[in-house]
Each structure stands twice: as structure tokens, then as C-alpha cells.
A and B are shown apart, each in its own frame.
Chain A
Amino acid sequence: MLDALLGKRRGEFQLDVAFQAEPGTTTVLVGESGAGKTSVLRLVAGLDRLDRGHVTVGAQQYADAGRGLHRPAWERDIGYVPQDYALFPHLSVFDNVAFGPRASGMPRHRITSAVTEALTLVGIPELARRRPHELSGGQQQRAALARALALQPAVLLLDEPLSSLDLQTRRALRVELRALLARLPCLTLYVTHNPVEALVLSDQIVVLDEGRVAQAGTREALLRYPRTPFVAELVGTNLFVGRPVTTEGPKPTIRTPEGLVEIGDLPGPGAAYLTVSPREITLSLRPPEGSAQNVFAGNVVELVPEPPGGERVRVVLNTRPTLVAEVTPEAISALSLADGAWVYAAFKATGVHRYA
């Protein structure tokens, strides 16, 4: 098991992150650029020193700032694939993958089989003699992965492994990577800014926002129970956080900083989280009169086809809170929606998902 409590200050940036992960699982660290994702990997790898906290893998303590313990990267049982792969340009693919085994003093006769095994695992045994600059982006990614896996590390660290690839390669490799990671006995930390990768590849997701954990959990938990606006945006839903009230109307109601929201069932006590699926929101140019009980008004900020070039359009509004509606392109043209248009966004009380 990996137990990480990471505190690091770098200039204005303060990282304070804690999480745990089990062997054989993939933990995806997701967040925007500058959220501290790469810092987490570098601290776990031992490339940077902790200001506070500790890194423990199984029975091995890699770092403990309190005791001044810092085992350098080359003494840690980790494999690391940096964002731009950093394949050694002066070495062939074989020698790149053999670098770890050689540096760790593996007996000569076992190196060839270790390298071949790693290259076969990632599906490029035929590229052993090539130089990195002769490889495509996808092949470089595989070679870097093979290099990191050659020593069968306990912890595998992947930093945006797919982000520098073109869309098609990325999709194909994402599927392959998922199958590969599922087979590996090691514990994987996977950094990405891409929510889809996070949802597809993860056993556990740790959402980072400005150096802190915004929320952590399984993908199901995050999809169904987002706790912060950032996580809600990540999983593509609308979130209200408020407190239940009963006195302000005949219907069950939640008071949020943005106003009252009617809900379908009776509210319990305590804080209440409300999500509204973008598909539950209907748009109109005039205040709606029908059965939708919750209405917010605002301007259209952005129209995003979803999936790219696809059959739905996500309409981002500058309502408070920011609402995202997902409608058909036909609805867009019927309302002749464009950036800046004033619209009413409405959803029924029964369309609200509530959890404490």
C-alpha cells in the first residue's frame, strides 16, 4: 500500500495532499494544469524533497520529513514515465529499457530477457534497435513505459502519458493502457487533466485543485456525489451546495447561496448537495410557465458540441451558479441560441439528485 502525506512549498504554490492507494489498482490524479499533479509524482518518486509529511510504500518508508528521512529516487522501488517521456536520445530503445536493469546491477544474462519481456508487454518488441527520434509519439510512449516497467517496480508513476499524442492514437492507447494497467501487479499513479481518462482508467480518483485534494473516491462516487464545483465540472454536472429549509414554501426546498431550489422529496437535516444533470435542464427565451419549478436566468457563455462534433450541445450559462445544459442541435437552432443570448434555464424538482 502507498501512504502519501505530501506537503511542499514552491514559491507561491503550496501543495497539501494526502491519499492512499492499494497494490494492483490505478489511482488517477486529475486536475487542471498547476493543480500540483506533477509535484505529487515527483515527491513520491523522490525527485523532490518533502517539506512536511511522508511517503510509505508497503513496509518501506521512502520519506519522512519529520525525521529528516529522504531516500533518493534511485533507492526507491518506482517506475516513472515523465510527461515528455525523456527517452535517452543517445541510446537505442533496447538500451533505454536496459538502463534500469543495468544500473541496478542485474546479471548480464537476465537483462536481455527482462528487456524483451518489457518490450513485449507494451507491444513493441520489434523496435528494440531503433533510436528514440525514429519513433512515433505512440511508440515513444510505449518505449518509455517499457523502460519504467523493466524492473517491475512496486509503484508506477505516469505523468500525462497520453496528452502529447494525437486524438486517434490517444483513444487507441487509452484502451490498451487500461488493459495493461489492470494486468500489472504494481500500484499505479496516473496523472491527467483529462476527465475522460480519469473515468476510464481509474479504480480511484483523486481530484486536485490548487494543491489540495478537492475530492477522492471511486469514479461512481465522484459521478454521483460530487462535493465541489470543480469536481462537478469535471464530471460534467451541475452542483448546488446548501441547507434544507421547510418554512419558505409548501414544497421541499433547499437554500443555497444562489437561491432556493425545490426538490422532489423531503429534505433531511444538515448540509445538502444537489446535482442536476445537464440533460434535465430545459432552455427557453421566456420565463417558463409549465411544471418546471426551478428557474435560473442568464446569458449564454459558450456552446460546446458534445462529443466533439456529436449529437448534443452543451450550453454554458453565466447564471449563478454557472449552469450547463445539454440540448440537441435542433433545440439550439429553434431557439436561435448564440453566445450572449439571454435565456431561462429550468429544471423540475424531481430532476434534482440530493445527497448529504
Chain B
Amino acid sequence: MLRIVAIALGAALVLLLGLPLLSLVLRVSPGELLDRVRQPLILEALRLSLVTSLAATVTVVALGLPVAYALNVADFRGKRALEVLIDLPMVLPPTVAGVALLTAFGRTGLAGRALALFGVSLPFTTLGVIVAQAFVAAPFFVGAARAGFAEVDRKYLDAAATLRAAPGTAFLRVLVPLAAPSLLAGAAMSWARALGEFGATITFAGNMPGVTQTMPLAVYLALQSDVEAAIVLSVLLLAVSLTVLVCIRLAPSRLPGRARRAPR
């Protein structure tokens, strides 16, 4: 009896997740997809999304690597607080993130006024889109990087140290390469999150075609005028997300250097 209930509950979840995606795919024929993608509105959104999400990913990786390393090797005051701060965007409603970004970087915001002195303005610009995406995507990379660093056996860092490698060299030549599968997975997750970003972007950067209107925003807008276009865009985004996930699932087992933790 319990077994039947369990199976029924499981099936319900599979339906809940699978049915919308399946029906989405079934609504569009491959030919129609190709036709639609060539439309300027969609092309524009696609280009903008790729540029901003990649820029956001690069930013997150560059800023996240040292933070993940520091959180793993060092013990310092406020470490717990930093951990919470970094995880917060994962659970924060994206629109709240957008409002928070506005209060910080808006014309009257704390950092906004300082940036304005240098002629830089973030709200309602492409740069603003990148900032919003980086804000929500950062925890995915930092989390994966920390897990990856923790998985690298200390013995390799010890060996590097006895081979004249100062910590910086050991980080670049040993730790990063050995944690590469996790770092790539984290970067891919961050990228996927940035690509799908909606709430923070529309709140902070607005919805201007060619400037701040990324794919998810275009989907939402199209839904009110051209449902078919919205569906095509959605299928595209779905394909991207699926590809990222499949790659992450397959990649770590293929790459060498995943160290097993040796007992001391």
C-alpha cells in the first residue's frame, strides 16, 4: 500500500516537471524554430543574453575563485557571515535583489553616486544586466568551487610546497587544475543561472530591446503579443539549460585528476 502511494507521488512529481517541458517542445516544429530564430527581435535578445551571461560568468569566476579558496583554507573572523552573504542570492527573491541593486547603484544609491563621478551608470544599462546576473549567479560558482577545492587531497599541495611552489603557484598549477571539473561545473551552473535571470534584471536594468532585454525578458514580453515567439524562445532556453546540465553530469567522470581522499 505504502509502495503504491510512493509510486503515485513520484509519478505526480515527474508529471509536474516533465509535462510542461514536453508540451513546450511539442508545440514547435524544428522548421518553425529555425524560421523564428532569424527574426530580429529574437536574434537581438539572443545576442544580448549570450554576451551578458558570459560576461557575468567570467566576472563570477574571477571574483569567486579567491573567495572560495579563502573560505576553504583560512579561518577568520566573520567567515560564517561571509558564507551566509554569499549563499543569500540563492534564496533571495530576484526582484528583491533588483531593488537592492537599485538602492546601491541607483542615481541616489550609496555606490551609484560614487560611480556617477566616473561617468558610470549601472541602472537600465547593459552593464547593469551583467551586474544583476553576476549577483544571482555568484553563489552557484562559489559553492561548486569550494566543494571542488575541498575534494583535492592535501598531499598534492604538500608535494607542491616541497617543490618550491609558493601558495600562489600551488593554487594555479595544482589546486585549480585538480579542481577543474568542479570549477567548470560551477561556471556552467552560474552561466545557466545568469542566462535565465529575469527578476533582478527587469527590476534593476529594465526592459529595453537591444540594451537590457535578454531572452527571458523577451519571452515574457512576447507572451503578451506573439505567443508563438514566446514558445520558440522558451524552447531555445530549455535546450541550453538541458545541454548545460547534461554536460555537467558527464564531464567530471571524463576529466582526470579527481583526487580521492587518502586516509592519513
Interface residues of A (CB under 8 A from B): 42, 45-47, 72-74, 76, 78-80, 82, 84, 86-90, 99-100, 103-104, 131, 133, 147-148, 151, 157
One digit per residue, 1 when the CB lies within 8 angstroms of any chain A CB and 0 when it does not, for chain B 144-168 equals 0000000001011011111111100
Other-chain residue from B156, B160, B178 in contact with A103 (beta carbon distance below 8 A): B160
A90 touches B262 (CB 8 A): no
Least Cβ–Cβ distance between A237 and chain B, in angstroms: 33
Chain A residues near B159 (CB-CB < 8 A): 80, 82, 86-88
Nearest Cβ distance between residue A100 and chain B, in whole angstroms?
4
Q: List 6 A-B contacts (CB under 8 A).
A: A74-B161, A76-B162, A80-B159, A88-B174, A99-B165, A104-B164
Interface residues of B (CB under 8 A from A): 153, 155-156, 158-166, 169, 173-174, 177-178, 180, 256-257, 259, 262
Say yes or no: A90 contacts B256, CB within 8 Å: yes
18 A-B pairs besides A74-B163, A84-B262, A103-B173 with CB distance below 8 A are: A47-B161, A72-B161, A73-B161, A73-B162, A74-B164, A80-B159, A80-B162, A82-B158, A86-B153, A87-B159, A88-B156, A88-B174, A89-B256, A89-B259, A100-B164, A103-B163, A131-B256, A133-B256
Complex CA distance for A79 and B164, rounded to whole angstroms: 9
Note all chain A residues with C-beta closer than 8 A to B262: 84
Q: Is the CB of A78 within 8 A of B169?
A: no
Write the nearest CB–CB distance from A37 to chain B, whole angstroms: 13
For A151, list chain B residues within 8 Å (CB).
Answer: 163-164
CA distance A72 to B160 in the complex (A): 12
- B156 CB, nearest partner CB in chain A, Å: 6
Chain A residues contacting B166 (CB-CB under 8 Å) are 72, 74, 103
Contacting residues, chain A, for B257 (C-beta < 8 A): 88-90
Q: Are B162 and A78 in contact (CB under 8 A)?
A: yes
State whether A86 touches B178 (Cβ < 8 A).
no
Closest residue of chain B to A85 (Cβ to Cβ) is: B159
* B165 x A89 contact (CB < 8 A): no
Task: Indicate if the CB atoms of B173 and A45 lie closer than 8 Å.
Answer: no
Query: In the complex, are the beta carbons of B169 and A148 less than 8 A apart?
Result: no
Question: Inside 8 A of A90's CB, which chain B residues have their CB?
Answer: 177-178, 180, 256-257
List, in ascending order, chain A residues with CB within 8 A of B155's CB. Answer: 82, 84, 86
> Do residues A99 and B163 form an inter-chain contact, with CB atoms below 8 A?
yes
Residues of the B chain whose Cβ atoms lie less than 8 Å from the Cβ of A76: 162
Question: Is B156 in contact with A74, judged by CB distance below 8 angstroms?
Answer: no
Q: Once the chains bind, are B256 and A148 in contact (CB under 8 Å)? A: no
Q: Determine which residue in A47, A133, A151, A157 has the highest number of CB atoms from chain B within 10 A of its CB, and name it.
A: A47
Output the least CB separation between A169 and chain B (Å): 21
Task: Given the known inter-chain contacts A82-B158, A88-B156, A88-B174, please indicate yes or no for A147 contacting B163, CB distance below 8 A.
Answer: yes
- Interfacial chain B residues near A88, Cβ < 8 Å: 156, 159-160, 174, 178, 257
- The reply to whether B178 and A89 form a contact with Cβ atoms under 8 Å apart is yes
Asked whether B163 lies within 8 Å of A100 as measured between CB atoms, the reply is yes
In the complex, which of the residues B177, B257, B262 has the most CB atoms of chain A within 10 Å of its own CB atom?
B257
Interface-central residue, B156, B161, B164, by most chain A CB under 10 Å: B164
Q: Is the CB of A99 within 8 A of B173?
A: yes
Which of B161, B166, B178, B257 is most buried by chain A, counting CB atoms within 10 A of its CB? B161
Chain A's closest residue to B174 (CB) is A88
Closest to B264 in A: A38
What is the minimal beta-carbon distance from B165 to any residue of chain A, in angstroms? 4
Q: Nearest Cβ in chain A — how far from B46, in angstroms?
A: 36
Instruction: State whether B162 touches A45 (Cβ < 8 A).
Output: yes
In the bound complex, residues from chain B placing their C-beta under 8 Å from that of A157 are 162
A41 to B262 alpha-carbon distance, docked (Å): 18
Cβ contacts under 8 Å, B177 to chain A: 90
The smallest beta-carbon distance between B157 and chain A, in angstroms, is 9
- Which 8 pairs, one residue from A and one from B, show the smallest C-beta to C-beta distance? A100-B163, A80-B162, A90-B257, A73-B161, A104-B164, A86-B159, A103-B165, A86-B155
Chain B minimum-CB-distance residue to A105: B164
What is the minimal beta-carbon distance from B190 to any residue of chain A, in angstroms?
23
Docked Cα-Cα span, A47 to B162, in Å, equals 8
Min distance, Cβ A132 to any Cβ of chain B, angstroms = 9
Which residues of chain B are within 8 angstroms of A80 by Cβ–Cβ distance?
158-159, 162
